[in-house]
Amino acid sequence: MRVLVIGSGAREHALLLALAQDPGVTALACAPGNAGTAAVAEQRGVDARSPKAVTALARDWGADLVVVGPEIPLVAGVADAVRAAGFPVFGPGADAARIEGSKAFAKDVMAAAGVATAASVIVDNPARLDAALAEFTPPYVVKDDGLAAGKGVVVSPDLEVARAHAMHLLDDGHPVLLEAFLDGPEASLFCLVDGRTVVPLLPAQDFKRVGDDDTGPNTGGMGAYAPLPWAGDDLVDELVARVVQPVADEMAERGVPFSGLLYAGLALTSAGPAVIEFNCRFGDPETQVVLALLRTPLAGLLNAVATGTLAEQPPLEWSDGAAVTVVVAAEGYPGTPRLGDVITGAEGEGVLHAGTRRREDGAVVSAGGRVLSVVGTGADLAEAREEAYRRLGGVRLAGSHHRTDIGLKAQQGEVTIPAR
């Protein structure tokens, strides 16, 4: 099987590494890729947001399966165009991708499916903002209704901070979603979905705030670990039954069946699980830890989703133990990152590339805000953390920063689900 992966981040690097382990894969290509993906796959240039360009590349390269990684191409209809050209595609069409592209659409689907989520109000006019904010109590949750790479969210006890962020979004022409705050630890659950067939992967937890102890602004994600040592054995079954299956069924009922990876971001509250957000693709950085533990050949799974045969697949197999990933970010991130700095140690074991490129002189340099994602595995969370940070110690990037506490509270037994 010749597999073409669309994207350029650490998620795509993780996907390629997993695909390369599948004996059914005969060739791999990544477009546009980065300095790290070049070591495992043929690199091809493409405008990943262009349905026409990606379709032409799939045809030119002779792909047997196209895997669309990022949300922007999916929302833009890239999967629709490639699928219409006769290629099996892992990734939802544009209509189904609205589950991430429009928070208002996602809320409507959840309401119809009876899935718990935070109470919310959409504001599209500054004149209505103050009255809408008055309906909520601190901490205030303010989100961009569209795609914002994880950085369109502000959670603050300060009304003025919340109001300023909302006004900034409205001034840019973006509708604002105001939400009630959800208590309890957060979890990410990836599910392979083929219409009404739902197959869950391991649950993970990611870290959105830029600083240790969850301080500072939100980012696209500064690290993650899997599985969740504090979660009961029945948690995944409960989340599928109460959240993912009803949403998949509702989308099928609406004539927009989901095909691909449906990502539920959840708060495990005292009243039960509640959805924070849905994504229409593998999440980053959780993909790096989930796939590090997957033993079932990945290409066969993704192809089964793309061809509508997921229900025929045997149960997934997983490695014992745990995985941790720590993101190395460029100076200035999550604001404007400094680019072009030389990275050393970027080719070490467990080092996945996100915002990197290779200069003509052969040096690997930073080319984005989240630059690298360093993965460690071990018999338990403590060993996986130790291995991830040991590997990170071999990486050098001037001005870079990373969190030192990824998975630490879980390792110390300090994460619990509130009693119901």
For residue 241, give the DSSP letter. Answer: I
Q: Sheet containing 42-43: which strands, arranged edge to edge?
A: 42-43, 27-32, 2-7, 65-68, 89-90
Could you tell me which residues come within 8 angstroms of residue 381 by beta carbon, excluding any fewer than 6 positions away? 225, 229, 322, 324, 407, 410, 411
Strand 259-269 with 186-194, pairing: antiparallel
**Domain covering 322-411 assigned CATH 3.90.600.10 in the classification:** yes
The rounded distance, in Å, linking the Cα atoms of 320 and 353 is 25
Residue 149 pLDDT:
56
Q: Is 45 exposed, middle or buried (0-12, 13-18, 19+ CB in 10 A)?
A: exposed
Domains of the chain, residue spans? 2-91, 120-179, 186-312, 322-411
Q: Which segments of 21-77 does DSSP mark as H helices, in order? A: 51-61, 71-75
CA distances from 34 to 277, 306, 367 (A): 28, 25, 9
Segment 104-126, tens digit of pLDDT: 899 999 999 999 998 888 898 89
CA distances from 83 to 54, 94, 145, 304 (A): 11, 12, 28, 14
Count of C-beta atoms within a 10 Å radius of residue 122: 16
pLDDT in tens, the chain (420 residues): 999 999 999 999 999 999 999 999 999 999 999 999 999 999 999 999 999 999 999 999 999 999 999 999 999 999 999 999 999 999 999 999 999 998 889 999 999 999 999 888 889 889 889 999 998 888 888 988 766 555 568 888 999 999 999 999 999 888 898 988 888 899 999 999 999 999 999 999 999 999 999 999 889 999 999 999 999 989 999 999 999 999 999 999 999 999 999 999 999 998 899 999 999 999 999 999 999 999 999 999 999 999 999 999 999 999 999 999 999 999 999 999 999 999 999 999 999 999 999 999 999 999 999 999 999 999 999 999 999 999 999 999 999 999 999 999 999 999 999 887
Contact in structure between 37 and 358 (CB atoms under 8 Å): no
Say yes or no: do domains 186-312 and 322-411 share a fold. Answer: no
Strand 370-378 with 396-397, pairing: unpaired
CATH class held by domain 2-91: alpha beta
> What is this structure's pTM?
0.91
The H or E element containing residue 185 is none
The H or E element containing residue 179 is strand 176-179
3-class secondary-structure state, position 83: helix
Specify the residue for token string 């901070």.
Answer: 161
What number does CATH give the domain 186-312?
A: 3.30.470.20
Residue 221 pLDDT:
95
Q: Record the tokens describing residue 267, joined without a space.
A: 């708060």
What number does CATH give the domain 120-179?
A: 3.30.1490.20
The rounded distance, in Å, linking the Cα atoms of 400 and 387 is 20
